[in-house]
Structures are given as structure tokens and as C-alpha cells.
Amino acid sequence: MQPLEVLRQATFGRRTAEEEAEQLRRYFVETEQWSQVFKGEVDVVYGPKGSGKSAIYNLIIQSADDLFDRNILLVPGENPQGAPAFRDIIDDPPYDEFHFIGVWKLYALTLCVHAIRDYGIKGRHIDQLFTKLEEADLIPARWSLSRALRYAMDYVRALSKPESIETELSLDPISGMPSGVKGKIVLREPTSSQARKGIVSVDELFELTSETLLEAGYSLWIVLDRLDVAFASKPGLEAAALRALFKFYLDTKRHKNISTKIFLRTDIWREITKDGFREASHIERALIINWSAEDLTNLVVRRALANNSICEYYKLNPSEVLEDFVTQENFLNSMFPDQVETGPNKPKTFGWILGRTKDAISSTAPRELIHFLSELRDVQINRLERGERQLSGGRLFEQSSFKEALPEVSKSRLEQTIFAEYPSLRPYIEALKEQKATQPLSNLKTLWNTDDAATIIIVGQLEGIGFLEKLSSSPPAWRVPFLYRPALSLVQGSAEI
């Protein structure tokens, strides 16, 4: 085949794990981090946006049968795609953190009991569990995550209605529960009088659930992802909800056979802990996803080798290539030109790609790298279709294509991540359009029409989201990473002081 036909038949995949869930197993990089999660050694996975958290989450979901073979029941706590189950919380959240924790506990308990019923697990406490949850209307007749969450919210809201908080709690003399509450589950330990009337705490029901699973020889994982999507429109609520989630996690982690697996962006974790979070030191079973240049090399090679057209063009056996890292590097060098920008001090092509697709606080994320490769493929196809052939030595990509591919990646990252998630910072970023990439404090003050104090605050926020990088210079200056420069038409160099 000719290069044009090879590229037409090839793909480097989609940017997000949700979009390519079915194909993910073909080229997923099974790192040690993945192994730790799959073995159950990790409960909390942190990573920058696009770092592969959702890829691990989706593969965990796809591995439900493999986990079941290890006597682990897998229970998704959020929809992998479509509308988030937590959307209803945004409009009508719990009153305070205590009741937010209660929502998490009741929701998780409902997920556990529904799974036990669904898998047909037997045990001496099962009837009591079902009865208590059904009496409280916590198990929907037509099951869905959003309904289960809504029922948990409604129940907690009935327990904590303002009129009961503002005055004395009005209890039904027969049931011993707050008036209007259907069910006998409370968020704190019941009094002796309540206990005699059959009232139990949600923590006691968790104990019974754990014992039931233990007797049957099973463990259960509740996995939670897409929490940034669920609370995206309400940052304040997001912080409250996630702080409550981690307190729920710590309250319930003593149950060794019921685990909550949380996948969370590092920037969101920093936000919810910036004012202090004492419980953070107790979250020990955690890892942060990091990608080295070698990891990213392997990722690109795996995606390239997943294409029959590329393997046939280079006459490669994928298994043999993946057995040796030097062979992987040589394979990349055979596809790419030696350099994008020629010169003794210029990086090799793959280093150039990594330098252009990283922000100011982290290494290149797989999402931006995959997006770049997809754009590179499209640009190269267009060039070949127009008859612009500058390929040599059996390569699939030419130097000119790399710079042409970057603007679309830059625009997407700026508009879909930075502007979408931090709209208040948009005016300050747009004020930099067509300016020099490196700016001293005095220039930023002029561009933004702000005083020293306000400028430093804005700069700090832009550093926090990876848009600006502080240089070790005097007077102080900040640089915009290559990733954002094409979208803003920034000019290489430093502005005059």
C-alpha cells in the first residue's frame, strides 16, 4: 500500500475513554498503576484531566466478569456515559455536610443491597436488609442509579426538614421516627427507645451487608467516576459533595469487603483541600497517575500497531515490537521525520510533540497526545490528497504536517477545558491574544488594567490551572506553554518591560 491508503485505513483512537470504550482493550497500556487498581490495592485514583482515569474506570467496568471470578461484585456508582446520576443534587442539595454524608451512605447501601439481590446471594441478614430498605422506599421498583440517588436524597431530606431542625424534632409516638418519614433508618445510632421500636442506623445496616457478603465469600466494589461532570456547574457544591464523599469513604473503609473506588481529577482534589482537610492524611490507598516519556512512547506504539494497515506497511509483528522498548522507539522513528524543526539544539520529533502538548504543571496527558496524532493523520491525508508529497525513507508523516496539526489541539484544549471550566479567567487570557508568549508583571498589569495585588491573584489562578509558568527571572515574568500559543496567536519571545 501507498502511505495515503495506509493512513486512510488507520486510526489513533478517540480522545476520551467514553468514546472508545469498546476499542480500549486493544491498545490500553497495562501499567503498574492499572495492576494496582485491578488487584484491589488502591481505592482512590488521582490524575490530571485526560490522564487516563476514565480509561482505567471503563476497563474496570469491562472486567466485571474477571473480578467476579475472584468473588468481587462490581457496582458502578455513576453512569459511564450520558447524564450523570448526580445531576439532581445540583438543584436541591442536602442541607449540610452531615446530611450529605448520609446521602452517600444510603445511596451506597442501596447499591450494595440491590447487587446482593441481583446476584442471588443468600444469607441470614438478607431479609432484614431488604425489609428495612423497602419500608423506607429506598429501592426503586424500576432500577436506575439516578432513581436510587433521588430516593436516598428524599429520605435524608425528610429526616432533616428545616421545621424539625428549627424547633424540636417532632417524633411519631408509635414509630419513634420524625413525622412524615416512611421507614426506620436513621443516620445516627438510635436511642434505646428507638431501638426497641425497630429503628436502626445506616451504619448498622452496612455492618449487616458486610457480614452477608463475608458469609457468602464475596467482596463488593462501588466505583465512582465522572464526578467533575456531575458537579461542573456548581463549584461550591462540588467541594461540599466531594468532601462528604471522602468522609463517607473513611467512615466505611473498616468494612474490608466493601470498597469504594474513587476516580478524581488532581485539580479538583486541590480545590477541595485548599482550605484544609484533616481527613486527607487518612486516605492512604491512593495513587496519582503519571506518564513518563517512555510510557507515552509505548502508548503511541500500541495504538499504531492496532492498525493492520500500518503493520502490513512496515511488515511488523506487534507482539515482537512490544517485547522490546528499543524496537518501539525505532518503529516511531520510522514513521516520523527525525526532527520537526531542524538544528543541533532542537528536539527529536517525539520530544517536540510532548513539548507542544503539555501544560505548565504536568506532563503531556494521553488525551492531548491522542488528539494531536489524530489531527496529524488528517493533515497528512489532506496533503497527500493534494499531491504534496515530501515523504522519504518509508515515513508516513512529513515535517510540515506537525505544525499544521497543533492549532486544532490548542484551540480544543483552550475552549473545551480552560474556557469551559474557568469562565471567570477568560477575559484575562483573551487579553493576551497576539502578544508575546512571555510577559513580565508590568505588562500583565497594563493588559489587564489591574493593580499589583489583583494581578498577582490572577497570575496565581492561571498558574494553578496550568496556563502560566513562572520563570526564574528578575523582574518576575510568566510564560504561556506551547500548548496554548496557536489558539491565541502568541508570538515567540519576551515582551519589553
Which tens digit of pLDDT belongs to each residue from 404-419? 999 999 999 999 999 9
Q: Calculate mean pLDDT across residues 77-95.
A: 74
- Residue pair 222/170 in contact (Cβ under 8 Å)? The answer is no
> What pLDDT shows up at residue 270?
85
Strand partners, 186: 201
Range in 26-35, 383-392, 437-446, 484-493 the model is least confident about: 26-35
Residues 6+ apart with CB under 8 A from 327: 320, 321
Q: Is the pLDDT of residue 165 over 50?
A: no
What is the layout of strands, in order, in the sheet containing 469-471? 469-471, 477-479, 436-440, 491-494
262 or 141: whose pLDDT is higher?
Answer: 262
Mean pLDDT of the chain: 88
Q: Is the pLDDT of residue 14 over 60?
A: yes
For residue range 301-342, what is the model confidence (pLDDT) as tens digits? 999 999 999 999 999 999 999 999 999 999 999 999 999 999
Other beta carbons within 10 angstroms of residue 91's beta carbon come to 8
Range in 4-8, 138-142, 345-349 the model is least confident about: 138-142
Q: Which three cell numbers stand for residue 48?
A: 490530571
> What pLDDT shows up at residue 430?
97
> What pLDDT shows up at residue 176?
58
For residue range 34-50, what is the model confidence (pLDDT) as tens digits? 889 999 999 999 988 88
Other beta carbons within 10 angstroms of residue 369's beta carbon come to 25
> What pLDDT shows up at residue 258?
95
> What pLDDT shows up at residue 230?
67
Q: Is the pLDDT of residue 152 over 60?
A: yes
Q: Which three cell numbers stand for residue 350?
A: 517525539
Task: Provide the 3-class DSSP secondary structure of residue 479.
Answer: strand
Residues 6+ apart with CB under 8 A from 316: 305, 310, 331
> What pLDDT shows up at residue 351?
95
Residue of 287, 218, 219, 215 whose CA lies nearest to 253: 219
Q: Is the pLDDT of residue 88 over 50?
A: yes
Calpha distance 185→285 (Å, rounded)? 30
227 or 19: whose pLDDT is higher?
Answer: 227
Q: Which three cell numbers stand for residue 311?
A: 503493520
Calpha distance 70→72 (Å, rounded)? 6
5 or 231: whose pLDDT is higher?
Answer: 5
Calpha distance 421→416 (Å, rounded)? 8
Q: Calculate mean pLDDT across residues 8-23.
A: 71
Range in 48-52, 283-287, 341-345 the model is least confident about: 48-52
44-47 and 286-288 strand pairing:
parallel
Calpha distance 381→396 (Å, rounded)? 10
Q: Calculate mean pLDDT across residues 227-246.
A: 78
Q: Which three cell numbers stand for residue 92?
A: 436541591
| C-alpha to C-alpha distances, 461 to 195, 220, 315, nearest whole angstrom | 52, 40, 50
Calpha distance 449→443 (Å, rounded)? 10
> For a pLDDT cut of 90, what percent of the chain falls above it?
55
> What pLDDT shows up at residue 279?
83
Calpha distance 404→354 (Å, rounded)? 16
274 or 24: whose pLDDT is higher?
Answer: 274
> What pLDDT shows up at residue 23?
61
Which amino acid makes up residue 378? D
From first CA to last CA, the distance across the chain in angstroms is 56
Range in 24-33, 92-101, 161-170, 184-193 the model is least confident about: 161-170
> What pLDDT shows up at residue 178?
65
Q: What is the largest CA-CA distance in the chain?
A: 87
> What pLDDT shows up at residue 73?
96
> What pLDDT shows up at residue 438?
95
Chosen CATH of 423-494 out of 3.40.50.1000, 3.90.1170.50, 1.10.10.10, 3.10.310.30: 1.10.10.10
Name the pLDDT band for 212 (thresholds 50, 70, 90): very high
Residues of the chain with CATH 1.10.10.10: 423-494
362 or 219: whose pLDDT is higher?
Answer: 219
Residue of 3, 6, 10 whose CA lies nearest to 374: 10
- Residue pair 410/360 in contact (Cβ under 8 Å)? The answer is no
> What pLDDT shows up at residue 278?
83
Kindly report the three-state secondary structure assignment for every residue of 47-108.
Answer: ECCCCCHHHHHHHHHHCHHHHHHCCEEEEECCCCCCCCCCHHHHHCCCCCHHHHHHHHHHHH
Name the pLDDT band for 470 (thresholds 50, 70, 90): very high
Residue of 373, 470, 483 whose CA lies nearest to 417: 483
The C-alpha angle 13, 16, 20, rounded to 5 degrees, equals: 50
Q: Is the pLDDT of residue 26 over 70?
A: no
Q: Is the pLDDT of residue 175 over 60?
A: no
Residue of 263, 252, 194, 200 whose CA lies nearest to 33: 263
